[in-house]
Structure 1
Amino acid sequence: MELELSSPLGSFQLKRLPYRKNELLRAWDAADEYVLNHLAATGLAEHANIVILNDSFGALAVSLSAYRPTAISDSWLSQQATRINLALNGIADERVSLLDSLSLPEAGIDYLIIKIPKTLALLEYQLHTLKPLLKGNCQVTAAGMVKNLPPSAWKLLEGLIGPTQPSLAVKKARLIFGRVDPNLQLPANPYPTRYQLEICDLTVCNHANVFSRDSLDIGTRFLLEHLPQNPEYREFIDLGCGNGIVGVLLAKQNPQARIGFIDESFMAIASARENFSAAFADSREADFVTGDCLTDFPANSADCIVCNPPFHQQHTIGDHIAWQMFQQAHKVLRKSGELRVIGNRHLNYHLALKTLFGNCRQVAANAKFVIFSCVKS
């Protein structure tokens, strides 16, 4: 696996998160290389205000650290990878300012460098919030692999920033250059979105990068019909909580319990916090953690963990995050604690779960999803 990214701006060692044995994927792609080569060729002003969006593992931030950029991401893993890769290259943390997706950088942006995210609603939100902070001559450069650059991404840039011009494709990557139109009137920012949850009296808040922003997705709907019900459970964890609706319903059904909401998305945790507050105001407390699954949780500390594992990380598909969730859940659960998992039928989670827990019971299934329960012996 290749670890060194080389460009005219320097050579840097880079690693991905979460760590996997025998990792085959690099911590950067050809679009990162393309944008770095372009910036080096056109030149960067020494004291420019540079803002980077959606830098997966810090390849751009580390390479541009001499210019003290600001890197904005909705991913805790992205921020942690950036910190680790800065340290790996002997670069001080303060060379890069890390902001979550709901925070704003200083106004007067000279360069806006965008890696096009998988969720274009996130890009839409980012352009809405950052357009007023761009200088009139700001150089806007969006980058992505050609297969991941839908026409709607171009339309967002043109509709919210100004005229665009594409580059030629190089190594299946492309850049889109945007020019700020100072006369462009921004429409109202549509995020966060809200909808009425029909199964209880709750208006659900969803920030831009949260899955299924306009209605309850069919997987969660099915899971809510088959939540664990055990009055002896006192500590629940909604793992990979998204907007937190699973945890909110667990709290409603288990007034004796405390709920922990865990996600690596800052927008997911913000949504979950708002939805829990809307449901309970100040009458209940809960824990909200942005982080890498259950990495920092103590062993034998939870009675029940409920999760719908993701099977992709940005544009990369795989089961490594699900397997990490299952292994960590086994550690964090108390004896006789339960892990309840929903997944697409074709993912065959039961095979891994039975290997890990020694047992795996099918709770329910339909044409698309299956729900399993495992008990720590």
Structure 2
Amino acid sequence: MTTPWGERVLARFPEEPRDPLRAWDASDAYLLGHLADEGVALSGTVVVVGDRWGALTTALAEHRPVQITDSCLAQEATRANLRRNGFAGDAARLFTTQDPPPERIDVLLVRVPKSLALLEDQLLRLAPGVHAGTVVVGTGMVKEIHTSTLRLFERIVGPTRTSLAVRKARLVFSTPDPALTRPAAPWPLRYRLPDDVGVLSGRPVVAHAGVFCADRLDIGTRFFLAHLPGTRGGRVVDLGCGNGVVGTAVSLADPAAEVLFTDESFQAAASARDTWEANGAAGRAEFRVGDGLEGVPDGSADLVLNNPPFHSHQATTDATAWRMFAGARRVLRPGGELWVVGNRHLGHHLKLRRLFGNSHLVAGDRKFVVLRAVKR
């Protein structure tokens, strides 16, 4: 990527040998060009929110920015990209969305996320550190920036306008208004599940902003809950746990089970912990943020439960599902099982047959299937 501060060599994380997707796009380049063209002073505290693969952070590394992200994959990509471009480990300060933000922010750069709720949550958390002289610039592709996005900036930061579109990217400019009365933060959100979902009927869910289906039970998980296998103790992994509903159901049904909740999202791991604790589940539970099952010992699990995503930001891809399934096979003991729910059209049964040598249909309807694969 060519930037006003020189060339940057960037890669996504984890690096795939034939990954056709870049670690930056036109909106990153547009924002960096604007900072240089306008002579924005970068000598104060520069905060970069939602940097997807560390492109913005790496480009601005000479100014020691603070990066705030919900994704541990984005953090790892940033670390790798900083090293790749010859920067020391302390060239940027890497914060998560669960960490306290800086008390003073002089330049706030926001890569607009897919989730409006996550944007709201982060702007409300960062607003106390913004002052009248703070430069606030958002960026995203045209299809990612909506009227609701601009209203959110205006409601939390101050008067907001947009740029012309360049290469299908657009900038958002907000002028901080110190007199603005901001709304109370609605996150994390707490709601009760329907009365027809088995052991979880009527029970609470706690969801932090940005977690998939944060305000309701999604239909895929509902279908999965109706067909979960029985357990008798052992180690169960809720892989890509989201708000932790599936793993909590296992804990409530079988207090002898030891459940590992894992997700690449810091918001999701916090949601899973809060949901599990809100339900007073007995037994043992571990909550982990990581790249799939990286770091989980081989042959240490009896059962893996998974509802894999098929998007990476705006891109449709099955790479994440492949990695999740391969990781599950590695951590399962012989005879252990991977149970997967997914849209019927995704063809997960073909992936499972290639990896496990078998795939069994547990249940299906017009939209979803639940599949079981056994490690031989």
Check whether TM > 0.5.
Answer: yes
C-alpha distance in structure 2 between counterparts of 1:196 and 1:96, whole Å? 40
Q: Displacement, 1:260? A: 0.2
CA RMSD after TM alignment: 1.2
1:288 paired residue number = 287
* Structure 1: segments with no counterpart, 5+ residues: none
Q: Which moved more, 1:18-27 or 1:289-298?
A: 18-27
Contact 1:205 1:275 survives alignment (8 Å): yes
Q: Displacement, 1:201? A: 4.7
C-alpha distance in structure 2 between counterparts of 1:308 and 1:52, whole Å? 30
C-alpha distance in structure 2 between counterparts of 1:269 and 1:85, whole Å? 25
Describe how 1:1-377 pairs up with structure 2 within 5 A: 5-45=1-41, 47-198=43-194, 199-231=200-232, 233-280=233-280, 283-377=282-376
Aligned length: 371
C-alpha distance in structure 2 between counterparts of 1:104 and 1:66, whole Å? 23
Contact 2:132 2:178 survives alignment (8 Å): yes
Q: 4+ runs of 1 displaced by more than 4 Å?
A: none
Q: Displacement, 1:43? A: 2.1
Contact 2:150 2:161 survives alignment (8 Å): no
Contact 1:104 1:130 survives alignment (8 Å): no
Contact 1:145 1:173 survives alignment (8 Å): yes
C-alpha distance in structure 2 between counterparts of 1:278 and 1:361, whole Å? 34
Contact 1:18 1:77 survives alignment (8 Å): yes
Please give the secondary structure, in 2, of the residue aligned with 1:280.
Answer: coil
C-alpha distance in structure 1 between counterparts of 2:366 and 2:284, whole Å? 37
Q: Percent identity?
A: 46
Cα deviations by residue, 1:249-301 (Å, 9 ceiling, x for unpaired) = 111122221000010000100011111112236x5331111010012222111
Cα deviations by residue, 1:131-184 (Å, 9 ceiling, x for unpaired) = 111011111100001122122111111111111121111111110111011121
Please give the secondary structure, in 2, of the residue aligned with 1:94.
Answer: coil
C-alpha distance in structure 1 between counterparts of 2:3 and 2:266, whole Å? 31
Cα deviations by residue, 1:300-322 (Å, 9 ceiling, x for unpaired) = 11000000000011111110000
Contact 1:70 1:105 survives alignment (8 Å): no
C-alpha distance in structure 2 between counterparts of 1:46 and 1:300, whole Å? 49
Letter of the 1:238 counterpart: D
Q: Displacement, 1:45? A: 2.7
C-alpha distance in structure 1 between counterparts of 2:306 and 2:150, whole Å? 35
Call closer, same or farther: CA 1:46–1:73 in 2, change over 3 Å.
closer
C-alpha distance in structure 2 between counterparts of 1:276 and 1:142, whole Å? 35
C-alpha distance in structure 1 between counterparts of 2:154 and 2:323, whole Å? 40
TM-score w.r.t. the length of structure 1 is 0.96
TM-score w.r.t. the length of structure 2 is 0.96
C-alpha distance in structure 1 between counterparts of 2:254 and 2:221, whole Å? 18
Please give the secondary structure, in 2, of the residue aligned with 1:95.
Answer: coil
Letter of the 2:213 counterpart: S
Letter of the 1:310 counterpart: P
Q: Which moved more, 1:104-113 or 1:133-142?
A: 104-113
C-alpha distance in structure 2 between counterparts of 1:109 and 1:339, whole Å? 46
Q: Displacement, 1:326? A: 0.6
Please give the secondary structure, in 1, of the residue aligned with 2:261.
Answer: strand
